[in-house]
Amino acid sequence: MARTAVDPITTEIVRSAFKAAADEMNATLIRSAYTPIIYEMKDCSVALLDSEHRVLGQSAGLPIFLGNLEICTRLTEDAYGRAAWRPGDVWIMNDSYLTGTHLNDMTMFGPIFHDDECVGFAACRAHWLDVGAKDPGGSMDSTEIYQEGIRVPPVKVVEGGTERRDVVDLLGRNSRFSYPAMGDLRAQIACINTGAARLAAILDRHGLGTVLAAREAIFAQTERYERAAIAGIPDGTYAAEGCLDDDGITGEPCWVRVRVEVSGDEMTVDLTGSDDMQAGPVNCGEAQAISAARVAYKLLINPDNPPDGGAFRALSVKVRAGSLLAAEDPAPCQWYFTPLGLLIDLVVRALAEVLPEQAAAASYGDSMVISMSGLDPRTGRPWLDLEPTVGGWGAWQGSDGQDGLINNVNGSLKDLPIEVFETKFPMRLTEYGFRTDTGGAGRWRGGNGIVRQYEVGCDELTLYLWFERSRTPAWGLFGGEDATPPVVVLNPGRPDERRMLKCSRVKLRRGDVIRTMTGGGGGFGPVGDRDPELVRADVRDGHVSPEAARAVYGLEVEG
Amino acid sequence: MSSYRVSMDIGGTFTDVVAYDEQSGTYAVGKASTTPADLTEGVLAGCEQVVGSPGDVTFTVHGTTQGLNAFLQRRGERVLLLATRGAGDVYHIARGNRTRLYDVHFRKPEPLVRRADIVEIDGRLDSAGTELEPLDEAGVRAAARRVREEGFGAVAVGFLFSYVNPEHELRAQAILRDALDGVTVSLSHQVAREWREYERTSSAVVDAYTAPIVRRYLERLETELRSRGLAVPLHVMQSSGGIVTAESARELTLQTLLSGPVGGTMGAVALARMLARPNLVCVDMGGTSFDVSLVIDGAPDVSSEAELEGFPLLMPVVDIHTIGAGGGSLAYPEAGGLRVGPESAGADPGPACYGRGGDRPTVTDANVVLGRVDEGNFAGGSMTLDAAAAHDAVGRLGDELGLGTAELAEGICDVANAKMAQAIRTLTVEKGIEPRDFALVAIGGAGPMHAVFLARELGIGEVLVPRFPGAFSAWGMLETEVRKDTSRPYFSPLAEVDLDDLVRLLDELEHEGFAGLADEGIARETGRVEHALDLRYVGQEYSLTIGLTGAGEPRAADFERALSDRFHAAHATRFGHANPGAPVEVVAVRTAALGDLGRADPAALQDGGGAEYPADVRQVTFGRSPQDTAIVRREDLSRGAVVEGPAVISEQTATTVVPPGASASVDPIGTLVVRVGEEP
């Protein structure tokens, strides 16, 4: 194709048009989705791709979905050839080993045609409430992918503009909640149609030649920007490692090992030293490990610009097939994001010594999920609650860490208000507050975790827990101290008191108490450098106890 | 003897006063510098310019930013917060969400009350409002002692489930009032009778933080105006788009907090009625701001929740979306490319042409280079622009990017226009609206300068530039009604609603509504009360507000079906799909009491036959080349006048750019109606 010259003005207009097209796709998806996981938790992602599977514009609901939609169109083309792309088709897939995530995440995409030529793709991914796993919504103790629901390779769900009833029916029959699943499927189709219409409008407005030339200029700008940022980092190899408590099955720690090599204006994140794939559901497909490495890279290198096809060109990611970060059949993948949150934190830790301004001490880490179900005596109906829990974030140069904030992987998720919780469920929420002294001490204090205590108000309750990072609590940086890890206590102070972190299908009775406690964030800088006034303020505010002020900071402060 | 309806709008820099002469149907506009130390000075100075004596005023309304300024500058009262035992940290946890995804240095908004100033009080209700544990009155008394000893100026009370049963909050208030004199007490259920404890507590805290200041200010202004002869009640604009007397506003000051720009949207609502164009996108662009609001089917887009610097506020508020940074957006190079915004030069140093030391080019500088700004008469002549500085700033960036000065200047405007239009489009998509079906109202000093370009990007065919675009917010305040909002939570599946019970509640709210109107001096026959229900599909989190035909509607034979049909239709419009047949539930009842106090009715301009008007010719750049462009004074245009692009129409407070291919005409009430046309 002949190259058209393009000026910086047109380039910038086209760049913002790509971004706006992705935003509009995202707005369409969220506006039409049926389940709160999408419209509330934003567990979704959209991208507009060019004909070579490169990102023109992306709008991510969850950071963890950064840059992994293009792999789906690419793999489909590898499998079926370029001729498989037909106008009006939409494809769907969720195979964890291809898409990288758990089976709940349905990825859909359609080719975009302009003057009979395939000029790009509109793609989106959204979390479906249920895809037929052995437990409703998904399992915490699956041992193979076959227990986690229907597994779909790339399949056409819309052909020439018409839905394939057979495929739609197959998907519908494999969900416990088929009504919202079908609603979300159509929301995703609407999103893809929006993307196709916007790209067509951009091409009509500026012409294909100009848009292609602008695209190259945009990618070049992004690549230049990122390479300049990497060139500012001293060459060298930087490493960090940490472990998950266990995989939910075996009780053994699972190690994630990160080696970051910086050479000139290129960066390699080598994850090959990480453990083999695990018996429990903490594995992910290679695509998702690459996404997570990109999230960490973005946090440090280019946090403000929207990602495009020029982003991540200076980054290579090495994973080892058969490891928990590049799982293979039949490894279970339901909790694929647990090692990825750790991976992101470890990349930041590895580079902290050369990027002290951009870095922060570790956060409390994982989603800290509690799930409860039972029968509501007020209505006689079954109920199910699933909540991630907030915790402490790491301190950084110039600031204490935040107390009680949602983890990295959960994006912009809000907690469930006590009033909403008690109205919806036959439960009492008797305490929700900060967990004093759990943030790591330091010149800058790590944020505190929280306590959230539930009292059972129905005859029988089934409890599931997924609390993590007790073996690798949030670490401090530059002399700052590590944080206190999480713990969950059942019936505290009673003879039947039990402490645990993960569990499946534990039965509780009316009046039983579940006290969840999340960890804090790491401290930053030596404890001895902390301004005594800040310690006194922390004691006054109850974030640090008088005992800790004395023992850790050597200050006598009255509470 | 003259009689005037007068509105006063305090902006950051200027206080605008618009007076409507009831005899002649004409307007006068006054402008005075805002006097931050004592805002009443600026208000009175502006007033004196247009009204001889306050005694001639028959109606007056006032938009105040006093509370907002106190909030923005963190000069509010020191607040003690009382919360339910076990839930005191809810205010600091602030729902734990992050609004920036790729930021390990993210911080929540700094709370207005420090943790040490939050007191947990025993006493607990369940979700049905049943008392599980009585209120610890000794604990409240101890808190009152602390207020006195430590000199707190206000107390906020946010107890769990007070929206169902307010007894504990009311008892706490009685104890605090007994023990304390002159200390504001804000109860969460009175500020916002809605569920979600963080949002309700945040609303009560902002109320407690700002109310004493607003109250003192309103009292002072009313006293000053009275002493100068004002004989009618002073009205205050609310965030909902309605007005209340200053006396009522003192009771619920939070409702006035975001009233500043709302007058503009209410003015657009009035234009929608006068010009029979029910759907409008209203663009308010100033030197450093760009606000967008929508008028849909002749009504403002009012939502029941707002956010201020990250703090949620549960109250009815006209939705105004702040996008980018308007004229102050900086143009700069990045990795060999051109960027425009979101970084802004702000008001200080501001654009290079302000001559305050800014040397980086902004959108305003680009407009100066293009000749689209009357540099000698900027901001009503209060400021002379340094055109050379604008040229230098744009020229330097042009050298860096390999572009000519004029070429880059137009490019900066093109990029800014494209981004603003895209932001508007995304906003309308979220609302389920196609912008093509709307007309665009342009206000603010810079709105009419960019409006035609925005309209072309959005496929909108018509731009309306009302009279007084620079003081339009004040103009709009003269076109509003009295409005008092109340709500009650009401949880029930629609199919299981006890209809008699619902009608009883609606009757009660209707009675309250009319009583509230009576307090505003509105007789029962001139007021009206509107009811609505918040509905959602069972299992959904967020609801839609669906209007009822009246308090008695639930008694109608097919009530359930009629209401769910209305809900399904609204859901399809707003979210793109509906689910007829799925169970619907009621979440809340909302009531608005409205009363008309009369409005300004603009007289038609004299028909000048549209003929002659003087015009200078100046070179203005369009389509990358300078073109002979008519420079016209708006006051020289009579009714029916037609101005073909390229032209620049300037007036005291704003500049309208009519590019080639567009043409403007003057309608009977003086609105510039611009047919957008196509770029030739």
Reported as a single tens digit per residue, the pLDDT across A188-246 is: 999 999 999 999 999 999 999 999 999 999 999 999 999 999 999 999 999 999 999 99
- pLDDT at A1 > cutoff 50: no
Residue A78: pLDDT band with limits 50, 70, 90: very high
Predicted pLDDT of residue A200? 95
Query: How far is CA A311 from each of CA A54, A57, A163, A218, rounded to the nearest angstrom?
Result: 10, 11, 35, 10
Domains and CATH numbers, chain B: 4-71+215-256 (3.30.420.40), 81-209 (no CATH), 482-595 (3.30.1490), 616-675 (no CATH)
Q: Which residues, given as ranges, of chain B have pLDDT below 50?
A: none
Q: Which alpha helices (DSSP H) does B350-446 contain, by range? A: 363-370, 387-401, 405-431
How is chain A split into domains, by residue range? 8-223, 361-559
- One-letter amino acid for residue B431 of the chain: K
Q: How far is Cα B615 from Cα B626, in angstroms, rounded to an integer?
A: 18
Predicted pLDDT of residue B445? 82
User: Do A27 and B426 make contact, defined as CB atoms within 8 angstroms?
Assistant: yes
Predicted pLDDT of residue B609? 64
Q: How far is Cα B431 from Cα A13, in angstroms, rounded to an integer?
A: 24
Query: Touching check for B585 and chain A: CB below 8 Å?
Result: no
User: Mind telling me how many Å the CA of B638 is from chain A's nearest CA?
Assistant: 38
Q: What angle do CA B74, B75, B78 make, to 5 degrees?
A: 95
Q: How far is Cα B285 from Cα B325, in angstroms, rounded to an integer?
A: 9
Average pLDDT over residues A133-154: 94
Average pLDDT over residues A30-46: 80
Do A517 and A392 form a contact (C-beta atoms < 8 A)?
no
Q: How far is Cα A389 from Cα A366, in angstroms, rounded to an integer?
A: 9
Of A183, A187, A422, the CB nearest to B127: A422
Dihedral sign for Cα atoms in the order B216, B217, B218, B222:
positive
Secondary structure letter of residue A249 according to DSSP:
S
DSSP percent split of chain A into helix, strand, coil, nearest 5:
30, 25, 45
User: Do B429 and A543 make contact, defined as CB atoms within 8 angstroms?
Assistant: no
Predicted pLDDT of residue B119? 98
Do A73 and A109 form a contact (C-beta atoms < 8 A)?
yes
Of A12, A418, A542, the CB nearest to B160: A418
Q: B interface mutation test: which of A6, A7, A9, A351 has the most B CBs within 10 A?
A: A9
Query: Touching check for B581 and chain A: CB below 8 Å?
Result: no
DSSP percent split of chain B into helix, strand, coil, nearest 5:
35, 30, 35
Residue A382: pLDDT band with limits 50, 70, 90: confident
Reported as a single tens digit per residue, the pLDDT across A155-186 is: 999 999 999 999 999 999 999 888 888 889 99
Predicted pLDDT of residue B79? 98
Residue B181, Cβ neighbours under 10 Å: how many? Answer: 7
Kind of pairing, strands A502-509 and B306-308? unpaired
Predicted pLDDT of residue B539? 67
Partners of A108 in beta bridges: A92, A124
Predicted pLDDT of residue B325? 60
**CB within 8 Å of A365: residues ≥ 6 apart:** A341, A342, A345, A391, A407, A468, A469, A472, A474, A519
User: Do B403 and A7 make contact, defined as CB atoms within 8 angstroms?
Assistant: yes
Place of tokens 């099955």: A249
Predicted pLDDT of residue A39? 74
Dihedral pair phi/psi, residue B245, rounded to 5°:
-70, 155
- One-letter amino acid for residue B315 of the chain: M
Predicted pLDDT of residue A3? 53
Predicted pLDDT of residue B337? 93
Of B411, B423, B432, the CB nearest to A9: B411
Average pLDDT, chain B: 91
Global confidence as pTM = 0.93
Secondary structure letter of residue B608 according to DSSP:
-
Predicted pLDDT of residue B248? 92
Average pLDDT, chain A: 94
**CB within 8 Å of B310: residues ≥ 6 apart:** B94, B99, B108, B109
ipTM, two decimals, is: 0.94
Of A15, A183, A414, the CB nearest to B97: A414
Annotate A228-247 with b (16+ C-beta within 10 A) or e (fewer). ebbeebeeeebebbbbbbbb
Residues 379-408 of B with CB under 8 A from A: 401-403, 407-408
Nearest CA in chain B to A402: B107
Q: Over pLDDT 90: what percentage of chain A?
A: 86
- pLDDT at A2 > cutoff 60: no
Kind of pairing, strands B57-63 and B4-10? parallel
